[in-house]
Amino acid sequence: MGRYVTQQWTPRVTDGVPRRYTRSGTYRAFVPDSLLDHDLPASPHVTELLDEAERRAREAADLAAHPNLGQVGDLLVRSEATASSLIEGYEPTPRAVAVADFVARGRQSAVTVARNLHAVRGSAQRALDPDVSLVRDVVELQRLITPRHAGIRTEPVWIGGRTPLEAHYNAPPHELVPGLLDDLDAYLSSQRHRPVLAAALAHAQLETIHPFADGNGRAGRVLIGTVLARYGLAPRITLPVSTALFRDRERYYAALDTFRRGDQGVAIVTVVAEAVSAAAVDALRLSAQVTHWQRRQRSALDVYLRDRSPTGRVRRGVAYRLLDDLPAHPVVDAASAAARYDVTPVAARNALESLTGAGVLRPDKKADRTRTVYVATELLDLVAEPGTAAGADPEPAVDVPVVAVDPEAEAACGAWLPRAGRTCRLPRDHRGQHR
């Protein structure tokens, strides 16, 4: 299911580099065949897995309009974005990512995942537009994921090793990438395969093409969700497929590897189908967990306010409205709450203090120098994978803005200047300290 082409490798930099990495030579790059003529071998087992995955996905999608599941839509997006980043080795806490997303800055790893969060959100909204090319949309979303390496690559890329001469896998030559992406887009537009099968094959094909210098894995997993939405399987809900892939990532890596070696895709289709089934179950489980969490927090808020009421009566005001909306807005400050509920800043601040006193929210005065933000930490922990949610990020507190870098300004330093409230616009290799 593909062919190899011979390429020449000549390193650009040789000064100060070990001799083994300065060697020139030829290597073989893999070019996959079109999916337009591809069919999976008949297998009752694979057909059964696809049937099960699509049945469970439709069950979750049908319940998306129900308050118990519809309210956790943003948490499912967070779960997908976080797990997809975990596969790539980024491990900030869900709390750190949520705060970075809200204040638009934070530590490097949290900002990286927050950018992926923006991409997943954007993909869910645009996938339902039939005029949007799914493949070209992924190219645009990759600019959000890794802005400093945005766009289709213009150089060789490989997996494993310091040079393509010792790589585990060499992707197609960069001059073939635009045509391969056009072919993939034509395949998805044809809808010749059922939803989960098409999502799995398209994901594997994109990973095989490896069209970007960085961000291929995260962008490729975004494509799974957009295909499921475009094909009508899960149009109103983001299934956290990456969460299931993360749990069995070694098998996921192996399945992609076999596809890159030219197999017909049985392994990756099996893995993705099982992941879609697990993601649908996870979505329903998360809905039940959030409902239980809100019930407990409402009781705690009742007790807190009753104890402080002269009459023992509780007035269900802004604090309760905030509590109801926390699944969609787990980080909030007084200004955003006042604007959302059309109340005064004092009323919003009082509501936030009541939720803090009841143990629902935790204040964070260090996230932003100009305001206090409040975080539903326990709620966000529900989307953390076991063993990955630490109490605090061990990474040094280096502030990085959560913004997509202008391609024309990629040569700029980009360091965040807190006093100026913007990034450094000097050349990347400039001398001197930031002030």
Summarize pLDDT for 238-252 with one digit per residue, the tens.
999 999 999 999 999
> Mean pLDDT in the chain?
85
pLDDT, greater one: 13 or 112: 112
* Cβ atoms 102, 375 nearer than 8 A: no
Looking at this protein, which amino acid is placed at residue 231? Answer: Y
pLDDT, greater one: 110 or 386: 110
Report helix, strand or coil for 221: helix
Confidence of residue 393 (pLDDT cuts 50, 70, 90): very low
pLDDT of amino acid 46: 95
Confidence of residue 230 (pLDDT cuts 50, 70, 90): very high
pLDDT at position 254 over 50? yes
Half-sphere exposure of 139 toward its Cβ, with a 13 Å CA cutoff? 16
pLDDT of amino acid 384: 82
- When mean pLDDT is compared over 88-92, 260-264, 269-273, the highest value belongs to 269-273
* Cβ atoms 334, 340 nearer than 8 A: no
pLDDT of amino acid 426: 66
pLDDT at position 362 over 80? yes
Least confident span in 313-317, 394-398, 431-435: 394-398
Nearest to 224 by CA among 245, 209, 210: 245
Helices and strands, counts by H and E, the chain? 16, 11
pLDDT at position 389 over 70? no
Report helix, strand or coil for 414: coil
* Cβ atoms 156, 173 nearer than 8 A: yes
∠ CA 375-419-412, rounded to 5°: 100
Number of neighbouring beta carbons within 10 Å of residue 387: 7
Least confident span in 27-31, 121-125, 272-276, 387-391: 387-391
Q: Which domains does the chain have, with CATH numbers?
A: 2-286 (1.10.3290.10), 288-383 (1.10.10.10), 405-435 (no CATH)
Average pLDDT over residues 175-183: 96
274-305 burial, b for 16+ CB within 10 Å, e for fewer? bbbbbbbebbbebbeebbebbeebbebbeebb
pLDDT tens by residue, 51-69: 999 999 998 888 766 655 5
pLDDT at position 307 over 50? yes
Least confident span in 5-14, 18-27, 126-135, 155-164: 18-27
Confidence of residue 394 (pLDDT cuts 50, 70, 90): very low
Q: How far apart are CA 247 and CA 268, in angstroms?
A: 15
- Which segments within 22-93 are labelled E, that is strand? 25-32
Provide the Cα torsion 313, 317, 319, 325; round to 10°. 130
Helix (H) or strand (E) holding 201: helix 195-209
The residues pairing with 400 across neighbouring beta strands, listed in sequence order, are: 106
Nearest to 391 by CA among 111, 114, 96: 96
Identify the sign of the CA torsion 275, 281, 284, 286.
negative
Q: How far apart are CA 203 and CA 293, in angstroms?
A: 35
pTM of structure: 0.85
Q: What percent of the chain has pLDDT over 90?
A: 54
Burial class (CB in 10 A: 0-12, 13-18, 19+), 246: buried
The residues pairing with 29 across neighbouring beta strands, listed in sequence order, are: 5
Cα 51 from chain centre: 26
pLDDT of amino acid 18: 72
pLDDT at position 296 over 90? yes
**Which pair of tokens denotes residue 66?**
């129900």
* Cβ atoms 212, 219 nearer than 8 A: yes
65 secondary structure, DSSP code = G
Confidence of residue 407 (pLDDT cuts 50, 70, 90): very low
Least confident span in 63-72, 155-164, 179-188, 197-206: 63-72
pLDDT of amino acid 409: 41
**Which pair of tokens denotes residue 157?**
């890329």
pLDDT of amino acid 396: 38
Confidence of residue 162 (pLDDT cuts 50, 70, 90): confident
DSSP string, 124-186: HHHTT-TTS-HHHHHHHHHHHH-GGG-SB-SS--EESSSSGGG-SEEPPPGGGHHHHHHHHHH
pLDDT at position 312 over 80? no
pLDDT tens by residue, 18-47: 767 678 899 999 999 999 999 888 889 999
pLDDT at position 282 over 60? yes
Nearest to 367 by CA among 326, 332, 316: 332
Q: How far apart are CA 333 and CA 321, in angstroms?
A: 14
